[in-house]
Amino acid sequence: MAQLIQDSRTDQTSQVLAVHGGDKVRTIPFPGYRTIGDEEKQAVSRVLDSGVLSQFLGCWHESFYGGPEIQAFEREWATFFGVKHAITVNSATSGLYAAVGALGIEPGDEVIVSPYTMSASATAPLVYNAIPVFADIEEKTYCLSVESVEQRITERTKAIIIVDLFGLPYDAKGINALAKKHGIKVIEDCAQAPGARYNDQYAGTLGDIGVYSLNYHKHIHTGEGGVLVTNNDTLAERLKLIRNHAEAVLPGKYPDPNDWTESNLTNMIGFNYRMTEVDAAIGREQLKKLPKLLEARQNNVNYLNQALGKIPCIQPTTLREEATHAFYIHPIQFNADVAGVHRDVFINAVKAELSPTNLRSGEGVPISTGYVKPLYLLPMYQKRQAYGTGGLPWSLPEYTGSVSYEAGLCPVAERMHTDVLFLNNLIHPELTQADLDDVIQAFQKVWDNRTQLGQGEPAV
Ligand SMILES: *Cc1c(COP(=O)(O)O)cnc(C)c1O
């Protein structure tokens, strides 16, 4: 069935889909996303030459706050994002845990979370024996919906962990008003949206505490790492205590036991969430590169959307009027009624036309369907087994609610996962216009030849 034609780009008759043995639109790998260069090498050398790879001390001492690179990185991060405090940590996951702790969330409290996100932004409350309550997402933006969050609020609700999913800031006006009305705190998981704007503010600074990720997959990275931000002095200090062995630090910090008030001891088991001087030095260089990296992504997405938007079964995601999008991932909706085939069959055929990227070739063609399965369907929630085998923390006497994790709980998230949404990662700044044209051509070819689909291509 395979056709003997060298270049499908120059021969109109070669239209057998690659998924059926036809020639691919592209066989050579796409460029990889690489943000590390000479600037980072020099920064790392500076730290290695100093011999001090971390200067943190887990006791009350001036080095409790870390060494020169950590402190400079935190100042620069706070200045860039226009926020009072930035606190580095060793991952955004650690940052989310620290944020829940800093807010004084207690066993049996409820925290409203998204089912459609990286797992840590939903499981963080469990670290403090609090109960994650899943609300549904918005149809168009995939961030938590104000209406659904409101329906989930009870007298036990203490916080919302909201995610700027795929790079779009959450509905800060709606959610923040709701939080204020009910006396609830907002933790903003901004791992995917560094540099996105909401009116005149940066994403990450819209809630009480914001969390950024610096893991290898994110816009800018230090290998692993994260940064917390807040404008609240007390929260900033609590975050720093949780980062660095709080229980051992507090007696030195507050020599008078009368200062050991209930609030400064609550949730003060300290972890080691410290970032190294090496990572901080890399982060300082990465931060300088963020604006350009972001702009290139936005331009690439605009270019793709103009062409892909003309394909009838494809609908690029709309933006919020008040916001810009950081495009960690390029989210796109698929209309199976128009295409005549299921999303997965179509996208599988598109992927068959394309090649992986350098640096991450083992991960295949970076286009995927569905994002994550709604998190409440994970075994931990279905079996209510976070700590031990006795149903903790849901079985705690402190927990007086009755949270549901049943299938069907968040219908929008479920539909996005199974039928509607697909995600394109071929948007990063290293891609040329010719690379993007290959992506467009792959989609166009599958659309033009869609009648071949559903006739025996490999199962997805
Ligand atoms: C990447 C990511 C995280 C976790 O980041 P780490 O730094 O790897 O812990 C959390 N939330 C979201 C939405 C993410 O995309």
121, 123, 127, 273: residue to mutate for ligand 1 pocket, most atoms within 8 A of CB: 121
Residues 6+ apart with CB under 8 A from 162: 114, 143, 144, 170, 175, 186, 187, 188, 189, 207
Query: Where in the sequence is the domain holding 426, given as residue range(s)?
Result: 2-35+290-371+415-454
The pair of three-digit structure tokens given for residue 205, joined into one six-digit string: 């600074």
Read off the pLDDT of residues 110-129 as tens digits, 9 standing for 90 and up: 999 999 999 999 999 999 99
Closest listed residue to residue 109, CA positions, set 305, 338, 396, 319: 396
192, 214, 219: residue to mutate for ligand 1 pocket, most atoms within 8 A of CB: 192
Query: What is the average pLDDT value for the chain, to the nearest integer?
Result: 94
Q: What is the pLDDT of residue 364?
A: 93
Alpha-carbon distances, residue 318 vs 70, 331, 367, 450 (angstroms):
38, 10, 19, 25
Q: For residue 227, which amino acid is it?
A: V
Q: Count Cα atoms within 13 angstroms, Cβ side, for 370.
A: 16
Q: Is position 402 within any domain?
A: no
Decide: helix, strand or coil at residue 185: strand
Q: Return the residue whose CA atom lies nearest to atom 2 of ligand 1.
A: 191
Residues 164 and 89 in one domain: yes
Last residue of a domain, one of 237, 267, 285: 285
Q: Is position 391 within any domain?
A: no
CATH no. for residue 97? 3.40.640.10
Residue carrying structure tokens 């943000």: 35
Q: What is the pLDDT of residue 317?
A: 81
The ranges of the chain with pLDDT < 50 are 1-12
Q: What is the pLDDT of residue 262?
A: 86
Last residue of a domain, one of 250, 267, 285: 285
Residues 280 and 295 in one domain: no
Domain count, the chain: 2
What is the chain's percent helix, strand, coil content, to nearest 5?
Answer: 40, 15, 45
Torsions phi, psi for 261 (to 5 deg): -75, 165
Residues 6+ apart with CB under 8 A from 185: 103, 158, 159, 160, 179, 207, 208, 209
Residues 294 and 258 in one domain: no
Q: What is the pLDDT of residue 381?
A: 98
Decide: helix, strand or coil at residue 161: strand
Q: What is the pLDDT of residue 459?
A: 52
Judge whether 144 and 152 are in contact, CB under 8 Å.
no
Residues 148 and 224 in one domain: yes
Residues 139 and 44 in one domain: yes
Residues 154 and 180 in one domain: yes
Q: Is position 378 within any domain?
A: no
Residues 319 and 173 in one domain: no
User: How wide is the angle at C-alpha 433 spanned by C-alphas 431 and 439, nearest 5°?
Assistant: 75
Residues 281 and 345 in one domain: no
Give the nearest ligand 1 atom to 96 CA.
10
Q: Is position 183 within any domain?
A: yes
Residues 89 and 160 in one domain: yes
Q: What is the pLDDT of residue 327?
A: 97
Read off the pLDDT of residues 153-178 as tens digits, 9 standing for 90 and up: 999 999 999 999 999 999 999 999 99
CATH no. for residue 441? 3.90.1150.10
**H-helix or E-strand containing 295?**
helix 277-308
Q: Please list every protein residue whose CB sits less than 6 Å from any atom of ligand 1.
A: 91-93, 117-118, 120-121, 163, 189, 191-192, 213, 215, 226
The overall pTM is greater than 0.85: yes
Alpha-carbon distances, residue 279 vs 155, 203, 209, 305 (angstroms):
41, 23, 22, 35
Residues 10 and 109 in one domain: no
The pair of three-digit structure tokens given for residue 207, joined into one six-digit string: 């809630």
Q: For residue 322, which amino acid is it?
A: E
Residues 108 and 251 in one domain: yes
Residues 213 and 346 in one domain: no
Give the nearest ligand 1 atom to 224 CA.
7
Please tell me the distance between residue 118's alpha carbon and the centre of ligand 1 in angstroms: 6
97, 116, 211, 215: residue to mutate for ligand 1 pocket, most atoms within 8 A of CB: 215
Last residue of a domain, one of 285, 316, 343: 285
Q: Is position 218 within any domain?
A: yes
The pair of three-digit structure tokens given for residue 210, joined into one six-digit string: 């914001």
Closest listed residue to residue 162, CA positions, set 138, 139, 181: 138
